[in-house]
Structure 1
Amino acid sequence: MRAVKAGFATRVAVVALALAHVAGGARADWTYQAGPEEGRHAGFVCAEGTGERSGERLCFGLSCNAGSALAFGMSAEGAADLLARSEVDVQIFAGPRVLAPLRFHTIGLGTFEAPLEEAHLPGLERLKAGARMELRYWEAYDAPPAVWSFPLTGSRTTIETLEQVCPMPDFAAQERAARTEADPGATVLADMREACAVLGGEVTVGAGYTTPIDLDGAGAEDLALNHGALSCSAAEDLVCGPAGCLRSVWQAQEDGQFLRVFLNTAQGIAAEAPGSLRFTFSGSLCGRVGAGPCEQVWSLQDGEMAPAE
């Protein structure tokens, strides 16, 4: 499932990257700039393309705008493979260490933003301490990645300045939003089709994919999804293994959306008392690898299913 959803609530104007297009030449180091409007802050670094990418330019950085939360930004000039993209999955290496993945969404032609998540905080420290970073994105699933190299000179001062003047995201609200869907069945099916298509296959929806359940006794219809009922013709066991198949449980919310309260491998899910479910597990969730099967009752605790005490 996607770690970050399109339409992230905070629409940060990535001014840093727009500012990078003025004044001509390439910037060798990280640069901090405040825009003409109060509260607009940005830090960025740019690189010029070489070889097959001669004439292209890519900028990467962080920014906030008028009180919005700190976020990542990226912009491209002359890169045809990026100009028409609505989203770009990016992997960043600081030295030998990889940062948590970034999913950028377009906010303008060749200009993108990605939310800063709690998982990225250790990566920010590595960006401050490193000498160079490498940014990779894929033009196609079966093609080698496009690779850009940036210096990290000045990154510590720039990022620490931004941390002082830009508010951090509400990570708890951000995490909950990432677990909320209007139609969980359609979202999981779309993700499965995307993963299967990479392997050259198609998805067939089998019996038992969606099961209505009464998770909390509130009257609204909650859902249990058996991801294993989605069969990929190129890899039948794409989400299944000896311990069972990937399953998820979704609690209906007052606004009509669904909150994911469970995502793990299980052999079965059965209704228990309101607020509880009986899971059949095998393997490590039964105490050790290869153990089981075993049954456990899990209860709804602070918006997530957890083993009942």
Structure 2
Amino acid sequence: MRAGWVIAAAMMLASPGTAQEWTFQQGPEPGRNAAWICDEGFCVGLSCDAGGPLGFGLSGQDDADLAARPDLDALVFVGGTALPPLAFRSIGPGTFEAKLTRDALRGIERLKAGVEMEVLYWETADDMPVRRFLSLKGSREAITAVEAACPLPDFDAQERAALTLRDPASHVLEDMRAACAALGGEVTEGARYTEAIDLDGVNPEDLVLRHGELSCSTVDDLVCGPAGCLTSVWQAEEEGGYTRVFLNAVQDVAAERPGALRLTLKGSLCGRIGAGECQQVWALQDGELAPALPQ
């Protein structure tokens, strides 16, 4: 049973028509902890499983639209200030969980200090958002308790995983096709779209994607501008997949030496807005490309 089901279980304890407040619950299984609030069958909270990190949960099992959703994007407001967007995924009919990110930590402090929270989510892309208002009474005590019981996620690993794809060339191509199709066009793939490159001096080979080589039939220069065309560089992982280490508009990219690339740039990256073309060597530093220090 996943941690999100703890929050769903709160629905059975909430009495319709009565004022609700945040509750901290341990169990029923060892290591499961949750802080939650429910109102009219809709529950939101924070929880963890045994050995797992703290995360957000949302449940609306009595809502047929929510029960059919595989995922759910939500916005939470406290005192008129929005928390970072929450990307929930289904772990059972009408029950969802979302990862706690580094950016969301300050949002948790707002939940503990606020009086009321507003939750917005969209049942379909074309509908007005559904708005739910939930009390924050008792949130400081309940959330402080679940924070003490649950470890935080490994944010560094989480952020690196968010930049890692099994097949980035296909992923970028599909995104471009979707954007172009929305403009009534079709994408043509140029010969220089993908290029294997030795970024770090070890196998497997790394990858450069020149997004500007994906041309849309109805829009010129969809990802290009005065500074150049959007270009991404991906470092190959030993276990498979690629991690993005660079994304920006450039004129071109070429291998310089293991661990470094020579970028042909224009504009602000050359020192000022409107600057002419320049070349710079960028090197891997702490998992991303950055201007190399003089050797």
Q: TM-score, normalised by structure 1?
A: 0.85
Q: What do residues 219-265 of structure 1 show as CA deviations (whole Å, max 9, x unaligned)?
A: 42211112233345676555333333322111111112211111222
Correspondence list, 1:101-250, <5 A = 101-195=85-179, 199=182, 201=184, 203-207=186-190, 208-232=192-216, 237-250=221-234
Question: Would you say the 8 A contact 1:15–1:35 is kept in 2?
Answer: no
Q: Could you tell which deviates more after superposition, 85-94 or 188-197?
A: 188-197
Match of 2:6 in 1: 16
Match of 2:239 in 1: 255
Q: CA deviation at 1:190?
A: 3.1
Unpaired runs of 5+ in structure 1? 1-10, 49-56
Task: Kindly name which structure, 1 or 2, has the bigger radius of gyration based on alpha carbons.
Answer: 2
Is the aligned partner of 1:100 residue 2:84?
yes
Q: CA deviation at 1:283?
A: 3.2
Distance 1:182 1:115 in 2: 21
For residues 39 and 194 of structure 1, do their structure 2 counterparts lie closer, same or farther at Cα, with a shift above 3 Å needed?
Answer: farther
Q: CA deviation at 1:103?
A: 1.0
Is the aligned partner of 1:67 residue 2:51?
yes
Question: Would you say the 8 A contact 1:45–1:59 is kept in 2?
Answer: yes
Structure 2 residue matching 1:272: 3-state secondary structure: strand
Question: Would you say the 8 A contact 1:47–1:148 is kept in 2?
Answer: no
Match of 1:304 in 2: 288
Q: How many residues align?
A: 290
For residues 211 and 110 of structure 1, do their structure 2 counterparts lie closer, same or farther at Cα, with a shift above 3 Å needed?
Answer: same
Q: Could you tell which deviates more after superposition, 62-71 or 179-188?
A: 179-188
| 1:44 counterpart (22, 27, 36) | 36
For residues 280 and 214 of structure 1, do their structure 2 counterparts lie closer, same or farther at Cα, with a shift above 3 Å needed?
Answer: same
Structure 2 residue matching 1:173: 3-state secondary structure: helix
For residues 99 and 300 of structure 1, do their structure 2 counterparts lie closer, same or farther at Cα, with a shift above 3 Å needed?
Answer: same
**Identity percentage of aligned residues:** 54
In the alignment, residue 160 of structure 2 is paired with which amino acid?
A: R
Question: Would you say the 8 A contact 2:61–2:95 is kept in 1?
Answer: no
| 1:293 counterpart (255, 268, 277) | 277
Q: CA deviation at 1:13?
A: 2.2
Distance 1:106 1:263 in 2: 31
Distance 2:184 2:77 in 1: 31
Structure 1 residue matching 2:196: 3-state secondary structure: strand
Structure 2 residue matching 1:104: 3-state secondary structure: strand
For residues 24 and 99 of structure 1, do their structure 2 counterparts lie closer, same or farther at Cα, with a shift above 3 Å needed?
Answer: closer
Question: Would you say the 8 A contact 1:15–1:40 is kept in 2?
Answer: no
Please report the RMSD computed on the Cα atoms of aligned residues, expressed in angstroms: 2.3
